[in-house]
Chain A
Amino acid sequence: MTQPVLNQYDVVKYSRIYALGAARGDLTVTNDDIAGPIDSSDEWIRQRTGIVTRKRASKDLSLMDMAVDASNQAIKAAGIDPQEIGAVIFSTITHPFQTPSAAALLADKIGANPAPAYDVSAACAGYCYGIAQADALVRSGMAKYVLVVGGEKLTDFIDPTDRSISFLLGDGAGAAIVGPSDFPGISPTVWGSDGSHWDAVSMTSSLLDFRDGSAAWPTLRQEGQTVFRWAVWEMAKTARKALEVAGVEPEQLSALVTHQANIRIIDELAKQLKLPESVVVARDIVTTGNTSAASIPLAMHALLESGEVKSGGLALEIGFGAGLAFGAQVVVLP
């Protein structure tokens, strides 16, 4: 009996982002609305974070509702049949079930059943992790199209009296369709993690402590100064590396789309990269707040919708956050 020669996937040379979709929380929350419990003011919050208003979801608007909305927009704009989606990747830290995944339910709700579907837990780097995996799945031939969603309902995990991070946070979902391309549309990804700073952005306690009654409902916290130093100076190195492996000079970018963590981080990071004024720096945080995994696709979608950047231009996208996890790649704007 002769040993059969196995079939393997036929590789595809290039991938690109076909289209984006965006859904934000239905409430516009001002600084004055939240300043009381943190003994703060509109001026203090604007000065330290750049946030004027943030979008938050009301009780009846779920993470899944926003993810379905953003995904359906992206599928429609890409002009594909959802049955052609070969994988659904949902980056989130706020899906309120340990299992099953949010991605499996999302895949069913958008008509992509029985596509493989799984969640990614990489916090604010989650969208870039998702794009990295989608790029690999498409180019390996494992999937024709991949749906990547970064979505969060962070307000389920905040403490109104917390001065470290809660007041920054908003809710939303951004979606991207990645598929095969005639030209290179997604550069190699520079990504990684540093678990030696596992506590720098974290929860106040575990779910087990909450179950046992020894802790209150877990909410997000961060060590602001540690995170600021890492997010600016370490991420500047990551951004420069991403440009280098992409073969792109800073002046060739149309846009810098960072995770929308804090305007001070965004501005200092842009300064470290010495970007010329021709490069548009995404500042969606001003009206949306920090939406973790959703912030990059929401910010990119906003730049395209407003006409500040055009389809076909190059954008450096860089996500960074709890883990500490980070990921960066240059993409051709859809």
Chain B
Amino acid sequence: MAFSQAEVLAGLAEIVNDETGIATESVQLEKSFTDDLDIDSISMMTIVVNAEDKFGVKIPDEEVKNLITVGDAVNFIVSAQG
């Protein structure tokens, strides 16, 4: 069963919270991972790998640099689901 956009956002917020301690309610679609949430490249990769596990998708290394905002990541994950 595919995850909805709201479910992916909620799941991603939990992953971000686990990795960085950032409150889940701060993880909003328009927020930039680096500029707003101050997430560095290594934490970003940990979030990506955990998101792959959680949502059953593949996020290639070359795609990670295009995931500027939380919304970019949510949309990529939603569309990458089988």
Residues of A within 8 A of B (CB): 47-48, 223-226, 228-229, 232-233, 262, 264, 268
Contact = CB atoms under 8 A, between A and B. Distances in A.
A162 B76 CA distance: 31
Contacts of A268: 46
B42 interface: yes
A2 B40 CA distance: 73
Interface string B44-82: 111011000000000001001100000000000000000
A48 B40 contact: yes
Contacts of B48: 229
Interface of B: 40-42, 44-46, 48-49, 61, 64-65
Report, nearest first, the 8 A-B pairs whose CB atoms are least far apart.
A226-B61, A264-B42, A225-B45, A228-B45, A229-B45, A225-B41, A228-B42, A233-B49
5 contacts: A48-B40, A48-B42, A229-B45, A229-B48, A229-B61
B41 to A, nearest CB: 6
Nearest to A272: B49
B8 to A, nearest CB: 20
B23 to A, nearest CB: 20
Contacts of B61: 223, 225-226, 229
In this complex, which of A223, A224, A228 has the most chain B Cβ atoms within 10 angstroms of its Cβ? A228
Contacts of A228: 41-42, 45
Contacts of A223: 61
Nearest to A233: B49
A48 B44 CA distance: 12
